[in-house]
Amino acid sequence: MAKWKRSARLIDMLKQLLARPHQLIPLTYFAQKYSSAKSSISEDLAIIDEVMTREGYGLLETVTGAAGGVRYIPKLSLDQAKAVLDDLCVQLSNPERILPGGFLYMSDLLGNIDLLEQIGHIWATVFSEEKIDVIMTVETKGIPLAYAVAYYLRAPVVIVRNEYRVTEGSVVTVNTVSGSSRRMKQLSLSRRSLPEGSRVLIIDDFMKAGGTILGMMELLSEFKAKVVGVGVMVDSPANVKLVDSYVSLVKVTDVDIKERKIRVELGNFLDLGGKKYEKN
Amino acid sequence: MAKWKRSARLIDMLKQLLARPHQLIPLTYFAQKYSSAKSSISEDLAIIDEVMTREGYGLLETVTGAAGGVRYIPKLSLDQAKAVLDDLCVQLSNPERILPGGFLYMSDLLGNIDLLEQIGHIWATVFSEEKIDVIMTVETKGIPLAYAVAYYLRAPVVIVRNEYRVTEGSVVTVNTVSGSSRRMKQLSLSRRSLPEGSRVLIIDDFMKAGGTILGMMELLSEFKAKVVGVGVMVDSPANVKLVDSYVSLVKVTDVDIKERKIRVELGNFLDLGGKKYEKN
């Protein structure tokens, strides 16, 4: 096998690193594929890391030793994150979103691939130092967000169902009161979907009192799983918050149906996620 | 602004191209960002294209003229696609998947990010020559697959709901008979989610007779939209197929509950998608 030129190596390595964020790739794999010395591979990685860091794409993390290698850690810079979420605030405050009952139409945003990818990147930055085994969400609108994060954190997704489905096999079910629909809701999770002791990141699109999130936490305790983080896209004021610790991206503080005005501001991701952002 | 070195340019260009498949990036954008001549940019792109084509990642498409530029077209080679789907067949034929009634547990596969990304890549290859405005699926298990394709084809996703939800605003509803549950099912799509005349790719996880897909097609005709393709992950035998033309990745031909044996083979993607694959 012919030796690869540096330019070709850089392209191939970057492609592979980007395709598998948070996964360790041994340097020997690259050295063998390119018939190159490990020292050349290390130089290549330094070049890639320099550009990635400078352009705010993330960074490469090198692990030394026999089981060592390199992994891509996606990190969006604070400035980029703020730009994405400022734009989300503007979009959410469009009065055409107001539905009867003061609900907001958001399905277009949850279908927008560019936005989802950026939100996934932000959450992956905020939660980058947690060891996460599984990302959990509830059908239906949380699903696009959960997968957006999962692509960056490279963890599998489990979906909590609102109704029993035969295709889930045996399930564990809890009851919860949804704040938005003000009715009892069942949350079911397939028995075989989650190994005991899993470390779980909960993701959802919208949170008011947090009844659904609390229900998911109760469900997880049935699986002896540990909640390592909660992320919601849109936070909304409530008299009582049932969940203490969560990361919200934006907050809808007021929907005035009569005046047709929506007030939206940045969520608490800066406070809670600030530590992770300082490093960039 | 200092001129960028070739190595840094290659890294930054590839990152940007990979992040936006199927989207045209003007050469002037790169030339300005790197303070480099367009001829150098073209040389860089030729290097990237060569590695991508050789390694089976896809290719770069250059559009000349004033509105020209370059775009990344993700294409998975036939060999790679077959390897992914052969492995899917092996996984699906695991008898532990058999549920009461002969249903198969597949939620773990739909939570597997690596598999989803590869399936998205395969469908993006099969449908790469269609102009697609929107990708449509139905809750719940079709959603991960629809987004997996959407990341590669860079089209927005709309989700058909089984129940009326206040957060969807006014909806159009059709009734359909689901083959798997043998009961009437409502399919609703938000009025504002789809512009008239949209070109739509339908994606779902499982198809037996095709009642749900047919229902989605009827729904689309209410929006004066055009179906440009149908992709299902798992096809299953039925006495009557209600949908003529669809691309399936794998086919479960038999589930023997007594003997606990599942027979799975490759779907029709080779016949229908073969033309697109020849080019690699």
CB of B76 closer than 8 Å to CB of B56: yes
Nearest to A51 among B12, B106, B151 (CB): B12
User: How close does chain A come to B150, measured CA to CA in Å?
Assistant: 7
Nearest to B113 among A117, A144, A150 (CB): A150
pLDDT tens digits, one per residue of B3-35: 899 999 999 999 999 999 999 999 999 999 999
Q: Judge: B48–A18 Cβ closer than 8 Å, yes or no.
A: no
Distance in angstroms (rounded) separating the CA atoms of residues B132 and B264: 30
Nearest to A192 among B105, B140, B144 (CB): B105
Nearest to B11 among A48, A141, A180 (CB): A48
pLDDT tens digits, one per residue of A97-127: 999 989 999 999 999 999 999 999 999 999 9
Choose the weakest-confidence range: A173-182, A206-215, B222-231: A173-182
Whether A89 has a pLDDT exceeding 80, the answer reads yes
Choose the weakest-confidence range: A24-28, A79-83, B267-271: B267-271
Please give the mean pLDDT across all residues of chain B.
93
Q: Judge: A108–B169 Cβ closer than 8 Å, yes or no.
A: no
Distance in angstroms (rounded) separating the CA atoms of residues A267 and B206: 38
Nearest to A107 among B99, B112, B168 (CB): B168
- Predicted confidence at residue A180, as pLDDT, reads 57
Phi, psi of B210 (to 5 degrees): 100, 15
Q: Judge: A193–B155 Cβ closer than 8 Å, yes or no.
A: no
Per-residue pLDDT band at A68 (split at 50, 70, 90): confident
Q: Judge: B111–A159 Cβ closer than 8 Å, yes or no.
A: yes
Nearest to B157 among A111, A158, A168 (CB): A111
User: How close does chain A come to B274, measured CA to CA in Å?
Assistant: 26
Q: Judge: A105–B7 Cβ closer than 8 Å, yes or no.
A: no
Contact residues on chain A for B6, CB-CB shorter than 8 A: 7
Q: What count of Cα atoms within 13 Å lies in the side-chain half-sphere of residue B154?
A: 15
- Predicted confidence at residue A1, as pLDDT, reads 62
Q: Judge: B156–A112 Cβ closer than 8 Å, yes or no.
A: yes
- Predicted confidence at residue A270, as pLDDT, reads 80
Whether B276 has a pLDDT exceeding 80, the answer reads no
Nearest to A143 among B52, B112, B144 (CB): B144
Whether A134 has a pLDDT exceeding 60, the answer reads yes
Side-by-side strand order, sheet with A134-138: A157-160, A134-138, A199-207, A226-235, A247-256, A261-266
Contact residues on chain B for A18, CB-CB shorter than 8 A: 15, 18
Q: Judge: B116–A52 Cβ closer than 8 Å, yes or no.
A: no
Q: Judge: B101–A166 Cβ closer than 8 Å, yes or no.
A: yes
- Predicted confidence at residue B179, as pLDDT, reads 61
- Predicted confidence at residue A280, as pLDDT, reads 39
Whether B272 has a pLDDT exceeding 70, the answer reads no
CB of A185 closer than 8 Å to CB of A164: no
pLDDT (mean) for A2-23? 95
- Predicted confidence at residue A3, as pLDDT, reads 84
Element (H, E) at A43: helix A38-55
pLDDT (mean) for A60-83? 92
Chain A residue nearest residue B7, CA to CA: A7
Whether B279 has a pLDDT exceeding 60, the answer reads no
Element (H, E) at A59: strand A58-63
Choose the weakest-confidence range: A54-68, A215-229, A244-258: A54-68
Contact residues on chain B for A158, CB-CB shorter than 8 A: 107, 111
Strand partners, A74: A58
Contact residues on chain B for A106, CB-CB shorter than 8 A: 167
Please give the mean pLDDT across all residues of chain A.
93
Q: Judge: A139–B139 Cβ closer than 8 Å, yes or no.
A: yes
Per-residue pLDDT band at A194 (split at 50, 70, 90): very high
Which domains are delineated in chain A? 6-74 (1.10.10.10), 78-278 (3.40.50.2020)
Q: Judge: B51–A12 Cβ closer than 8 Å, yes or no.
A: yes
Q: Judge: B157–A143 Cβ closer than 8 Å, yes or no.
A: no
Q: What ipTM goes with this model?
A: 0.94
**Which residue of A53, A106, A147 to mutate against B (max B Cβ within 10 Å)?**
A147
Per-residue pLDDT band at A65 (split at 50, 70, 90): confident
Whether A198 has a pLDDT exceeding 80, the answer reads yes
Contact residues on chain A for B59, CB-CB shorter than 8 A: none
pLDDT tens digits, one per residue of B42-72: 999 999 999 999 998 999 999 998 888 999 9
Q: Judge: B156–A52 Cβ closer than 8 Å, yes or no.
A: no
Contact residues on chain A for B144, CB-CB shorter than 8 A: 143, 147, 157
* Number of Cβ atoms within 10 Å of the Cβ of A18: 18
Q: Judge: B166–A103 Cβ closer than 8 Å, yes or no.
A: yes
Whether B274 has a pLDDT exceeding 60, the answer reads no
- Predicted confidence at residue A279, as pLDDT, reads 42
**Which residue of B94, B113, B141 to mutate against A (max A Cβ within 10 Å)?**
B113
Chain B residue nearest residue A190, CA to CA: B107
pLDDT tens digits, one per residue of B145-199: 999 999 999 999 999 999 888 899 999 999 987 665 567 889 999 999 999 999 9
Q: Which stretch, A90-94, B175-179, B180-184, B241-245, has highest mean pLDDT?
A: A90-94
- Predicted confidence at residue B181, as pLDDT, reads 59
Distance in angstroms (rounded) separating the CA atoms of residues B35 and B85: 44
**Which residue of A1, A5, A13, A14 to mutate against B (max B Cβ within 10 Å)?**
A14
Choose the weakest-confidence range: A65-69, A149-153, B213-217: A65-69
Dihedral sign (CA B223, B227, B231, B234): positive
Strand partners, A7: none
